Structure 1
Amino acid sequence: MATYVLIHGAAADAWYWGPLAAELRGRGHEVVAPDLPCDDDAAGLAEYADAAVAAVAAVGDGPGGLVVVAHSFGGFTGPLVCARMPVDLLVMLHAQVPAPGETPGEWWENTGYWAARRESDRSRGVAEGAEEDERALFLHDTPAALAEELLAKHGRRQSATPFGTPWPLEAWPQVPTRYLLATGDRFFPPAFLRRHVEERLGFRPDEMPGDHLPMLGHPQELAERLEAYRAAL
């Protein structure tokens, strides 16, 4: 039995991990999905990592070790957890890959995100400057009832504080790392992520179906992918 530590992204709580957590628990694993202090203006990246480490400490790790899964903005927190605990595997789920000393606010320009996003939007017929609603941008491949519940009940104010916090590690943690993207993600376009991952992690990411939140739309396949990564260690 492993302990899966699920790190959520910005402006949300950990609710969206629910379907994946159920799949993993059904396979006999412990799941820890902490709510990070995203609406606390006193909290930066260190406090996000504190919350995750404290949640793991409260339950302990299973005999199968720790697997950290970091989603989206959680990519800035997941490696910090790995630097502070004996983690067996880090899975970045269309997550931002930070560079040493880089703030989350700098990441967008440093990586060429905005130019890549404009190109992706144009290819989908989205006019430049147009505002897509959250369902179209993030949740177009998510079951309607889950998308509605997420948008209605589980959004949170995202403090700007962590976006001005330099990522504190001097190098990527010495933990086996995998990267998995969803091919339908419109917020982080797949072509952009492929380049981003190769530039910063030095390997090509793996791919699966889904939008920005495949843990809601494809929880069984995502669980199988995570279990395959763990089994291959």
Structure 2
Amino acid sequence: MDALRRAGYDARAIANPLRNLTSDAATVADFLKTISGPVVLVGHSYGGSVITNAAASVPNVKALVYVDAAAPDIGETTGRLSGSDSDLSKDAATLYDEVSYPGAPQGATDLYLKQNVFVHSFAPDLPQDTAVRLWASQRAASTSAFTTPSKAAAWKTIPSWYFISTGDRIITPASERSMAHRAHSKITEFRGGSHLTLISHPDAVTSVIGSAICSVR
């Protein structure tokens, strides 16, 4: 974001509630409707599902950028898009600390990645002290966020770019390639990296966002 702002773009990080795909997308869409002019919308991880739904109701979104992200079709859930060999395919009890939260739908809990999973699967290419700090400050996501079916597929009508890290262990490169090809996205593959390449190699991600921006000028 800093590089984009230094380049003169009005880059914003929109809050994602991480509660439910439908309501999360509506929250983002409501914010986008306050912006005039063309928008390039970027989503990482579950955020890809959010932008896929939010952009469908905002005509001034002119490009989508998926960064190691999910891009569901209508009816698909984010939780089904990680890939069969994703590290998230393991027993949930070994992956997450589950915590109840007020007003949760029946059966829903908040999920926090366990420290060893975050460090070794989510952020393996970051210095360990950085990965531990990010783990300690992570925001919880409701299980409902990953089980809510997508109600839209904005990539069917909006041009998209897809950044794929070949070292991603959370959403596998094979799953991302499949989603990128069906969306007819412009694909960039980054050799190595992790699910957090946007932090470990921000210039590579910024370059792809810049390509999307240039397309709508």
Q: TM-score range with shorter-chain normalisation?
A: 0.7 to 0.9
What SS does the aligned partner of 1:80 have? helix
| 1:206-225 alignment, distance < 5 Å | 206-209=188-191, 210-225=193-208
2:26 equivalent in structure 1: 50
| Rounded Cα–Cα distance in structure 1 between residues aligned with 2:129 and 2:32 | 30
Kindly state the Cα deviation for residue 188 of structure 1 after the two structures are TM-superposed: 2.3
| Rounded Cα–Cα distance in structure 2 between residues aligned with 1:30 and 1:221 | 19
1:6 equivalent in structure 2: none
| Rounded Cα–Cα distance in structure 1 between residues aligned with 2:186 and 2:207 | 19
| Rounded Cα–Cα distance in structure 2 between residues aligned with 1:99 and 1:202 | 13
1:83 equivalent in structure 2: 56
One-letter amino acid matched to 1:28? G
1:31 matches 2:11: yes
1:22 equivalent in structure 2: 2
1:151 equivalent in structure 2: 135
CA shift in 2, pair 1:170/1:66, >3 Å: closer
CA deviations 1:109-133 (Å, max 9, x no partner) are xx8x22x337xx9xxxxxxxx8753
1:92 equivalent in structure 2: 66
Q: Residue 82 of structure 1 contacts residue 173 of structure 1 at CA under 8 Å; is this kept in 2?
A: no
Q: Residue 56 of structure 2 contacts residue 153 of structure 2 at CA under 8 Å; is this kept in 1?
A: no
One-letter amino acid matched to 1:220? D
What SS does the aligned partner of 2:86 have? helix
Aligned residues: 190
1:140 matches 2:112: no
CA deviations 1:14-40 (Å, max 9, x no partner) are xxxxxxx111111111122122222xx
| Rounded Cα–Cα distance in structure 2 between residues aligned with 1:104 and 1:192 | 12
CA shift in 2, pair 1:166/1:55, >3 Å: same
| Rounded Cα–Cα distance in structure 1 between residues aligned with 2:156 and 2:175 | 23
Kindly state the Cα deviation for residue 204 of structure 1 after the two structures are TM-superposed: 6.8
| Rounded Cα–Cα distance in structure 1 between residues aligned with 2:154 and 2:39 | 20
CA shift in 2, pair 1:191/1:44, >3 Å: closer
Give the % identical residues.
28
* CA root-mean-square deviation: 2.8
Structure 1 residues not aligned, in runs of 5+: 1-20, 122-129
| Rounded Cα–Cα distance in structure 2 between residues aligned with 1:95 and 1:79 | 10
1:117 matches 2:101: no
Kindly state the Cα deviation for residue 91 of structure 1 after the two structures are TM-superposed: 0.7
Q: Residue 70 of structure 2 contacts residue 171 of structure 2 at CA under 8 Å; is this kept in 1?
A: no
CA shift in 2, pair 1:78/1:203, >3 Å: closer
Q: Name the TM-score, length of structure 2 as normaliser.
A: 0.74
What SS does the aligned partner of 1:67 have? strand
1:183 matches 2:166: yes
Q: Name the TM-score, length of structure 1 as normaliser.
A: 0.70
Kindly state the Cα deviation for residue 84 of structure 1 after the two structures are TM-superposed: 1.4
2:78 equivalent in structure 1: 104
